[in-house]
A and B are shown apart, each in its own frame.
Chain A
Amino acid sequence: MLALALALLLHAGATAADAGHGAAPPAPMAFVPPAPGSYELMRIMDAADGRVLDTEGRARDLSRYTGGKVTLLSFVYSSCADAAGCPYAYLVFHQLQSRLARDPQLAGQVRLVSLSFDPVRDTPEVLALYAGDQARPGRAVEWAFLTTASVKDLLPILDGFGQDVFLDVDPASGAHLGTYSHVLKVFLIDRDRTVREVYTTAFLMPDMVYNDILTLLMETGAKPE
């Protein structure tokens, strides 16, 4: 219902407020992405590894969350207010989770990972709240919300993936303002932990990401409906 309301709201060019009910057609994409399996995704680099914490506070290797399934991984922080950053990735992930769940053959072969780059504030407890129902066990498409125990644990992971993050500071005092500047990057990782695509906001289009996921699954024999 929320989605439909927002579609109407967007169509009218209004500000974000309560809107009426009704169906609004999806906005057309600027292009039709190539069909799944009609192209090959590059093998860009190995996915970085490191120590992370799940929402229960258990220490894990990140590699546990990047192998065995096709994985879409994004660096986020829960208080991010940049609409084209974390919130946008969150919505794209949500949409993909819903869409993939409709095909039981695919759902179990795909994983979503949101990894915080704010270990100080994004504790496992905060991330559990941030995740909400998305991370509930038993969801057809797994969505893991992860953080790290310290900046020391986080930095090698950020460096390994090439994710820039800047701390926003008060120019006068130099104090951290609690926000971060970053260019959103989302990583598509195959079952063998190889990064096969990197998306920024300019190219993070839900239909195209979906097709890329199918393309990777088809490499190992999947036949999407």
Chain B
Amino acid sequence: MIRTPPLSLKRAAIAVAAAAALGTSALPRADETSCSPFTPLIMGQEEFVYVWTLGVEGVGDGSDKLVTVDVNPKSKTYGKVIASLSVGGRNEVHHLGLSDDRRYLWGGGLDSSKIFVFDIHSDPAKPRLAQAIDDFVEKSGGIVGPHTFYATPGRMIITGLSNNRDHGGTTAHVVYNNQGKHVQTVPIPTAEIGGVQGDGYNYDVAINPAKNAMISTSFTGWNNYMMDLGKLVKDGEAMKRFGNTTVMWDYKAMKPIKIFNTPGAPLEARWSWQRGDNWAVTTAALTSKIWVFRQDGKGEWQAHEVGTIGDPAQIPLPVDISLTRDGKGLWINTFMDGTTRYWDFSDPMKPQEVYTKKIGSQVNMVSQSYDGKRVYFTSSLLANWDKKGADDEQYLKMYHWDGKALKEGFTIDFYKEKLGRAHHMKFQVRDMSKLKPLHAASDNPESLRMAAGTER
């Protein structure tokens, strides 16, 4: 018995046409810190925060672990650690990345080059290790230090930070499929493109599908990121070995199209998802400069230095950033003074710092909820770069943001809880069935129009 009216071409066209005509004004767009636009996003209240935590000798079991914190305000265990999954050993764990279906969470170790894939959908309150990938260096052709995990459909782009030849900064993007198999290694350019010499360094990556654009930034190699920070800053030769470039790529072709001079280790990269916006932003750790990359009238990408964070002479060391869902505000953490800074990005070419707050003796990562009302901070940068003694605070702190001031919600002391150094965060919910990617629905009206409106 036929109970379902079949989808005729006409019915399909009308449905798509209506969506395109509606545009995107009613549709949510979100930051959720650094999620890929291909990953379904949490538009409402996040329920869990996973913290990728570095093991510390003498603290708990001393091993790296994925820590799960209950952040559902309606829960009896709100603001508490509810699970801790040790992966054994210390890997210099650093960043996490959600898979394209948000069922799995990938995390890497910058020292061991191991990758851990956690199942976060079977029981989001209690992740389990689904797969450990220990052939990254071999399969990638000698790439070391898996850093960013950025989901694309069916795949994960992993930025490498170094190589096994000289442990310097020449490296590559490495693509794995969702089954954990190596797909391709894409070198960072070392040749000159458009008059700018590539340095081959890498750090973060971010994709804007609507522009077929991918941006990548640059940090430093294993020799430096594993060195004690106090020793590093006194080593003139070592200090020369930091990335100074940002690269714009043709995402589809995975080919670099332009290299920009952005001195002093440009780190986190974010695109503005506001409709009509065509820019990305990064901050350079050693020069404290803010860079915006925007298409000019001819569609060519151009780099603009648009601001200075704190006093560069003091090397405040801007680290993580988080762009609001509408691209109008940017949180910038400066590690050395433990301060977060909110910049008004209403005009991305002339941003202004409008609010600062000291979070702790040191602060590294910042992640905000979709609505921007909840902002989470963690403390650790790298095991050998974190502060020493009493200044080595390790925490997860949650604040409420009303647009004017941060008000503390809860704090978890990661040393008191015998966990370790708190680094990268990702959010999760129990029910993922209604989550949609950033550009889902009619957030791609040009394609909808073309499909509905024309026969080529």
Contact = CB atoms under 8 A, between A and B. Distances in A.
Interface of A: 2-4, 6-7, 9-11, 13-16, 24, 26-31, 33-34, 38-39, 42-45, 78-84, 86-88, 90-92, 94-95, 98-99, 121-123, 125-126, 129-130, 132, 134, 162, 164, 166, 168, 181, 183-185, 195, 198-208, 210
B7 A44 contact: no
B37 interface: yes
Contacts of B445: 27
B154 A45 contact: yes
A203 B21 CA distance: 19
B21 A24 contact: no
A220 B152 CA distance: 27
Interface string B1-21: 011111111111111111111
A39 B204 CA distance: 23
Specify which of A84, A125, A164 lies most central, judged by the most chain B CB atoms within 10 Å of its CB: A84
B447 A198 contact: no
Contacts of B17: 6, 9-10, 16
B44 to A, nearest CB: 15
Given A14-B21, A45-B177, A91-B12, A202 B38 contact: yes
B319 interface: no
B450 A27 contact: yes
B165 interface: no
A159 to B, nearest CB: 11
Given A16-B21, A30-B446, A208-B252, A92 B7 contact: no
B454 A7 contact: yes
A223 B91 CA distance: 50
B255 interface: yes
B451 A206 contact: yes
B21 A33 contact: no
A109 to B, nearest CB: 18
A84 B450 contact: no
Given A183-B437, A198-B153, A203 B209 contact: yes
B449 interface: yes
A44 B433 contact: no
14 contacts: A7-B452, A15-B21, A31-B212, A33-B212, A33-B252, A34-B252, A83-B15, A83-B19, A83-B448, A87-B11, A183-B40, A200-B100, A203-B153, A206-B451
A123 B6 CA distance: 11
Interface in B410-456: 432-434, 436-456
A207 B451 contact: no
A98 B252 CA distance: 24
Interface string B179-197: 1010110000000000000
B147 interface: no
A3 B179 contact: no
Contact of B12 (A44, A90, A199, A201): A90
A60 to B, nearest CB: 21
Contacts of B432: 166
Interface in B141-163: 152-155
Contacts of B438: 202
B70 interface: no
